[in-house]
């Protein structure tokens, strides 16, 4: 899907209208930072569309709001793109070397540009042999492939949750004009929500299966044949690889990547990238066996504390890193019963928390 059309203007005109400053960059930390196909001064470069930093090319203006996308910004510059850079990143040497439009409230400026954008508001398109449940809402710029099933009450393509902070702490919603692409043979469960992307689309790849009440935020991409159980929530710009399995009620923080073939146990909180083929569990989500060992150790410490004749002083649970504000002699919590003879903590944990590939939620 192409970028968002805007009225063609020289970069200096955007600065005059929306604030900020044009900087041609310092000594480049990376030689690619100075690669610009046009010989015109940066101020005279004309932007005709808004696009993601991952896809922007000649004549397209792309926002750079996070340091993890500096490499993609360099590639975009080599394709002739123009950058709208948040001032908060300018302290980084590699960012300060980039030529572009620097703005103290870059997200606010982007929201203003999107408000005035001339994006086509196409009706949603639906492929052959689809089954659309009662009460489903399909917003403009939604494209659905063949043999897709969407359960009752699902909402596809509504605006994502994005607000720009401006001068004086004011906030304004960021328009989401990128739409949603759902490829062939996808299943979307009842009451699920898939938000529209900001500049590029939110994408659900071929064969993916989403259970009921799954939330997919703006600009996420879910890979082929991935299975996501009920009540999972993916924050913005999460990339999920192919053949991934997620148990129920998993939460994934924004801008993360979950590699191909990974497994995420139910109720996990993912706050870092997940390697391909790995199995993670817990909060924060770590390698599953490591998480089970940690739980077993906590259970052992709690049992040891409960069976101790002298409670630890000052409410400290020895070795567990826990400090209570209650005086140690005062307790309304009954002591934990000791484990039955011959039963290991790991066995109890495994019985109550089956891995996602066994259907656990």
> How many helices (H) and strands (E) would you count in the chain?
6, 33
Look up residue 125 and give its two tokens. Answer: 């398109």
- Active-site residue, selected from the candidate residues 218, 255, 305, 316: 218
Look up residue 160 and give its two tokens. Answer: 């994502």
Which phi and psi angles does 224 have, rounded to 5°? -60, 140
Which three-class secondary structure string do you get for 299-335?
HHHHHHHHHCCCCCHHHEECCCCEECCCCCCCCCCCC
Contact 201, 218 (CB under 8 A): no
Is residue 176 annotated as part of the catalytic site, yes or no?
Answer: no
Q: Which letter does DSSP use for residue 66 in this model?
A: S
Residue/partner pairs of 159-162 with CB below 8 Å, 24 or more apart: 159/195, 159/196, 160/195, 160/196, 160/197, 160/198, 160/202, 160/217, 160/218, 160/219, 160/236, 161/195, 161/217, 161/218, 161/236, 162/198, 162/218, 162/236
Contact 259, 275 (CB under 8 A): yes
CA distance 99 to 105: 17
Sole residue written with tokens 């192409």: 2
Q: Which letter does DSSP use for residue 92 in this model?
A: S
Known catalytic residues? 218
């Amino acid at each position: 899907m192409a970028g968002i059309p805007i009225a063609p203007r020289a970069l200096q005109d955007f600065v005059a209208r929306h604030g900020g400053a044009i900087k041609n960059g310092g000594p480049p930390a990376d030689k690619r930072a100075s690669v610009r196909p046009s010989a015109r001064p940066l101020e005279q470069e004309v932007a005709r569309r808004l696009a993601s930093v991952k896809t922007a090319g000649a004549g397209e203006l792309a926002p750079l709001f996070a340091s993890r996308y500096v490499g993609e910004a360099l590639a975009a510059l080599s394709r002739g793109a123009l950058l709208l850079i948040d001032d908060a990143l300018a302290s980084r040497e590699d960012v300060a070397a980039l030529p572009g439009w620097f703005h103290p409230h870059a997200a606010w400026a982007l929201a203003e540009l999107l408000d005035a954008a001339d994006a086509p508001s196409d009706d949603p398109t639906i492929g052959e042999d689809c089954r659309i449940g009662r009460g489903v809402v399909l917003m403009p710029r939604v494209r659905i492939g063949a043999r897709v099933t969407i359960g009752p009450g699902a909402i596809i393509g509504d605006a994502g949750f994005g607000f720009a902070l401006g001068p004086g702490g004011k906030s304004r919603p960021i328009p989401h004009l990128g739409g949603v692409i759902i490829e062939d043979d996808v299943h979307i469960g009842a009451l699920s929500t898939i938000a529209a992307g900001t500049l590029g689309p939110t994408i659900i790849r071929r064969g993916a299966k989403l259970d009921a009440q799954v939330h997919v935020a703006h600009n996420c991409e879910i890979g082929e044949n991935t299975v996501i159980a009920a009540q999972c929530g993916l924050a913005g710009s999460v990339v999920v690889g192919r053949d991934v399995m997620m148990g129920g009620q998993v939460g994934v923080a924004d801008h993360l990547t979950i590699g191909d073939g990974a497994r995420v146990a139910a109720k996990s909180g993912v706050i870092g990238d997940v390697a391909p083929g790995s199995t993670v569990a817990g909060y924060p989500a770590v390698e599953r066996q490591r998480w089970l060992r940690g739980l077993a150790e906590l259970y052992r410490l709690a049992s040891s504390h409960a069976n101790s004749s002298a409670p630890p002083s000052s409410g400290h649970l020895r070795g567990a890193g826990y400090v209570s504000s209650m005086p140690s002699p005062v307790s309304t919590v009954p002591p934990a019963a000791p484990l039955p003879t011959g039963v290991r903590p790991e066995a109890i944990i495994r019985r109550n928390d089956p891995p996602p590939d066994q259907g656990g939620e």
